[in-house]
Structure 1
Amino acid sequence: MTQLPAEQDGLPPDTATILLVDDDIAILEGVADFLEFYGYRVLTASDGIEVLHAMRQHTPDLVISDIMMPEMDGHEFFQEVRNNDDWTAIPFIFLTARGQRIDIRRGQSLGADAYLTKPFDPEDLLIAVRARLKRVREIQSITKSEVDRMKNQLMTIFSHELRTPLTYIYGFVNLLQDDREELDAQYVDEMLTGVQRGASRLLRLVEDLMMMVRLDSGMVEMEITVRRRQVPVRSLVEQLELEYQPVAADNGVSILVDVQPDLEIVCSPVYIRDILARLLDNAIKFSRTGKRIWLSAYGEGDDVVFVVRDEGVGFSPEDRRRAFEPFEQINRQLMEQQGVGLGLPIVRELVRLHAGEIELDSQQGVGTTLLIRIPQAGLGANDDEDLSPQF
């Protein structure tokens, strides 16, 4: 046998702990000695039940397990490992004297990382071990980089989204306290408006974060299920039009509404309104003076289709890819967007909880269209769908 070097690809194996499970003591000791020769720390056990106890004491970096064992076979042991959230990422290599294709397929279908048949070449085992540990380190490195990126991004976002409105409020209140007798009524009104805007911005931040918590906990799903009822679509849209026309006018934007007559939908009206309100907020936010926004609703087959279209700045291809990811801010540099990037992710979840679909079409410099399709009869058409949150 040609001995392989103790290190490969710059990975020091002496940092890895391997759990070896086999009821054949000779194989157990032989493989353990072989792996220890190459610098690995090796824990051993002779059956699945024993090894589950050992894993609770010491979590390994990799597991090598026989298939045929007393009390609990290797496949059952593997499933127990994967059922524990703390162990799902541990790579798993099967060793077995059974080389039938059906056993290999079962191990692969369960998600085993490798499958070696006894008698095996120790070099093959070493190569498999190193490859799996290398892959784990690569994934951990990528995950750490992504976590660090997200942490820095969140720190930047929350620092801005908290500090800016608080600065407005604190500054205006100080002026009112120190110079209120010298300020004219118009200037006081302007400062109070600034305080109100800052408070509203903070309130939106808190409401969005609370909505994410409620979505994740299943509270919103329960409310949608309990509170759904048949409502006329026109009344929903008209209420939004009355609320948002003044907001749009303040920003120099107009809203054009077109709703199919006598159109009805079974839904939770509070959350359908929330969906459309968030889309209108975005459309106004990203539209320049003189541009238009269209809000329409119509029936198509068994669905009700809502469309919000604007002539705003539009999304780049990269922004379109990230648009529904939480805490991803789009066009911040261009439009000084306010918010933490939760609007579209919340919309997507609310649409999905109504058994619906959402489509985004956007082009930079042209505008954005968001189309939402929801079953007209409500959730009945998709009662078997998995409605757990998917962030």
Structure 2
Amino acid sequence: METVIFFCLLIYKFARPDDKTAVLDLWLIFLLLVYNISGGLLPDPNLPGSVFIQEIIAYGTGFITPSYFPYYVYKGFGLKKMRFHAFRGVYICLVFPYVLFVIAYGVSGKMSIAQNLLILPVLYAVWVINSLVGALKYKYSGNFSTSESKEELIGLLLSLTPWVGLPVIVYFDLGQVIEASVTNTGFLLLLSLHLKNHISLFRKEHQRLIQSETQLRNWNSTLQEEVERRTHELIKITEQRTNTLVNLAHETKTPLTLIDNYLEEYIAKNGNEEELSIVKRSLWKITTDISNIFDLERLNRGMFLFNHNQVTNFSEVTNDCLALFGPYCQKIGISLHSSVQKDILIKADPVAISRILTNLVENAIKFSVNGGTVEVLLENDGNKIRLSIKDLGIGIPLEMHKKVFEPYFQLNSPKASTQGMGLGLPMVKKIVQELNGEISLNSDPRRERGTLIAVSFRHHPLSIKDKLSAVSFQGGKIRDIGIEKLNLKKIVHDERKKTILVVEDNVSMVNYLQRKLSDKYNVTVALNGNDALHIVRVPGSPFDLIISDIMMDKLDGLNLARVISEDADLAHIPFLFLSAKTTAAEKLQGLKLGAIGFIPKPFSIQELMQQVDSIITHSEKQRKAILSKAIDHLSIMNGHSENKPTNGTDYFEANCKLYKLTAREKAIAKLVCEGYKYKEIGEKLFIAERTVTKHVQNIFEKVDVSNKIELINKLAG
């Protein structure tokens, strides 16, 4: 029976390895098995070994097994007051007497003499019983009225009592049957009591799991209903916003068309100027983006945008499109090569085919480097019609191949000012899917430059009537697609003007701001945050203001402001944001980084100029005020305020004579004390800045100082 229990507990332990109580039970059953086997077999003269050794082993298991009892009840039943017996008492009152028993038996050679020492375990058992009752009182706070406490008290006492009688049984030699029956019954009763408590605990855990499962099921049901409700609300809100956006795009088309037509008429009458070209380019970009938003949303809703029940001459549409792009490519220095097979017909709307060609060729041109090449190939191999556009531009990383076909995704590019809204390729993909075609992208900037986009359509056999009715599409002239070169106004640096750094990635905006601000200030430009840092960190390049966009490649405006604010040599430069990102959170973030102001795009140039004037004027006043206060503070700290003459000029003159300064050195020292820079001193005295620097070094040596503050303190303090 104990063997079966042992293996059942072993299986349970493997099933629940975290349950520590199973280990306690396993050790108890194991010790009982060892005790029963050794007590039943030993001593036996037929077995190898001396009878003395066999007796020692048999009695040893009889001592060791009850030694486990205090530890078992201490851990298994949570009887904290049994700790002494579990870790010390058994060694003093059981293990030590066993050692004496072995010595007495070995010396006398008579078991009867050694058995007299069994009185010690009997007395210890009485002590353990008393301690057990006390531990149970402590556990249940002296209350034995509950059934649980009564069962535990009676069970533990009954399981221990047979071991009190064990020495009596051995002493009077009542036989192994009685001995084994009494001792095993006691320990099996102890095990049963522990297992009963364990089963009760399992039942409680099971009941809690059932309750938790019910609560979880109810919670999931409630959560699912809430998710469905919120999802429905979000869908409704999203649909409303989309409808508003589409309606806005639709309503904007009419005024944009009127503006475009009147602009064309004005240019035809009065000629084209550079400013008008910029207006045309910006207008064309807005019109294209709005059309793409409107058309892509209609396609996503399953609305019919194109009529594909007509035959289009793919070759003629391609040639017409390339002819319109040709002059523009020559203008910006990009070679456009094509190989177009004649009379390739496709059953599709010519407007759709033109949109595919325009978007793909336009992208290839936009992202090509100066002097690059764009190749267009159209061929029919009998089974499929293939269109491929290849450029030698910046390329598209492998991880971005799928994303570029998602609406509104923009690939970061050094030529950020050429980017649209990320709707061109999604529009192309939608049209290709409508025509049951395929589109593929081949590009890996890590291996080589360039991008190859290929579109293929199934070739449908066409009747003679279809071929005769084939149409081409002349989409009108291709406007300036938005690539503007950096065309800065050539200006000689004026030492009398303040210096401004403009950080903006849109080339058109850079050109505009440089031309507008350069009439009053020295203007340096940078196309991203990294370039700006390189510029401001150049020695001898003092800037009075930084005007920066936020959204830029490499290093954006917010991170640029953070780096500037953390650099002790640059933190004094005022920072002004000029950006289309105008949410309250973005403004707050910019102001936390130390920005003086935040002007949203679109902006008024008059407002910008006024802001710049105010910031620079305020900074100049603040600089002089700080310098003046520093001088006064140093004077007070050194006690000069009490001793200096009433006339400050006389005091300065007296010090100049004291340190034997020349007339030129005295004039320069006076301007230094008044807070002027070396450049300003040179302008006032009509000498070079280098000469001023040399004189200041001589003054420092004569006065025995190392900086301006010490000089001011000694001469004007």
Point out the structure with max Rg over C-alpha.
2
Bigger proportion of residues as helix: 2
Query: Between Structure 1 and Structure 2, which shows a larger proportion of strand residues?
Result: 1
When normalised by structure 2's length, the TM-score is 0.28
